Amino acid sequence: VPKTHYVIGVDLGGQSVKLGVVDTHGAILIRRQVPIDAAQFEEVLSRLIVQQIDALFTEAAALGKEIAGVGMVMPGYMNAARGKLLFAANLPTLSGSDFLDHIRDQVPAKIVFDADCNGAALGEFRYGAGRDIERLVVATVGTGIGGAVVIGGHLLRVVHHISGSLGHIIVDAGGRRCACGARGCLETRASGRALEAMAAKLLKKDERVSGEEINHAAVNGEAWAMRAVRECGWWLGAGIASWCATYAPQQVVIGGGIAALGRSYLEAVRDGLHEVGQPHLTANVEIVPALLGANAGMVGAASMMLHGKE
Ligand SMILES: [Zn+2]
């Protein structure tokens, strides 16, 4: 029996940081989540993360577990050596800073960095819904839309270490301008933000309608909420049709906050895919919810250290 190893996985998002001690099989031994204020200075954020990592080292030691290293993921583009965060829209103070150097210098173990969409994809491929799939796309649909492609067990890295900006393929060329500067991106139609905007419009409301409210109303059969969920899912399916033309995935895993919308949402995604997509490329594509849920990025980050850099 091979020895079980333990590593720390860190998933830094725009609103919180999730950390965990994870074993060789993807099981989470210790987990913690701390809110962050993304407007804080780089020094404050790196200190907070180092403190949290240190606390996990201490907790693991108390259980007699030795930590073999740390894998950390976050949104944004990194340089070629994955040692510098060049740009992260949701972490503005960290863009172009020495954030990764400061963390590496203070963590008492080997550490690797990667993009959060890559972490989630490896997590689902190695331990979750996408196990043993030859051509896999893992999409994370939250405030925005991220995605990564795993082909033959390897992450497809095109530029900036990501498979591409999968949330920014154009699905509605005559539509709205996206935050990224392009027009009609998938993200403007199918993200959590798009869902909230659609719900507010249907309700003729000026204030924000949260994802939780929409989900609750949809579960209770309220027409406006069901329509918003349906449209948002349909557009994601339309986007997946283009991913199918590009990567020919056998399976597409849907994770992120939006997965909480459940079955009717996934049905809408499948309907959009089959209405829009090329029949022979989309007929047999499985659309499945992520198994690791909100932990996918953290578990995937840890697995980068366990399985090598990918
Ligand atoms: Zn865009």
DSSP one-letter string for 96-147: TSSHHHHHHHHSSS-EEEEEHHHHHHHHHHHHSTTTT-SEEEEEEESSSEEE
How many angstroms from the chain centroid is the CA of residue 86? 19
Q: Could you read off the pLDDT tens digit of each residue along the chain, which spans 310 residues?
A: 557 789 999 999 888 999 999 999 999 999 999 999 989 999 999 999 999 999 999 999 999 999 999 999 998 889 878 888 998 877 889 999 999 999 999 999 999 999 999 999 999 999 999 999 999 999 999 888 999 999 999 999 998 889 999 999 999 999 999 988 999 999 999 999 999 999 999 999 988 899 999 999 999 999 999 999 999 999 999 999 999 999 999 999 999 888 889 899 999 999 999 999 999 999 999 999 999 988 999 999 999 988 754 5
Q: How many whole angstroms from 189 Cα to the centroid of ligand 1? A: 10
Angle between helices 192-202 and 223-247 (to 10 degrees): 150
Q: How many whole angstroms from 187 Cα to the centroid of ligand 1? A: 6
Q: How many whole angstroms from 165 Cα to the centroid of ligand 1? A: 8
Q: How many whole angstroms from 239 Cα to the centroid of ligand 1? A: 13
CA dist., res. 233 & res. 189, Å (int): 9
Q: How many whole angstroms from 179 Cα to the centroid of ligand 1? A: 6
Q: Which residues surround ligand 1, an ion (CB under 5 A)?
A: 168, 178, 180, 182, 185
Q: How many whole angstroms from 202 Cα to the centroid of ligand 1? A: 23
Length of the chain: 310
Q: How many whole angstroms from 290 Cα to the centroid of ligand 1? A: 23
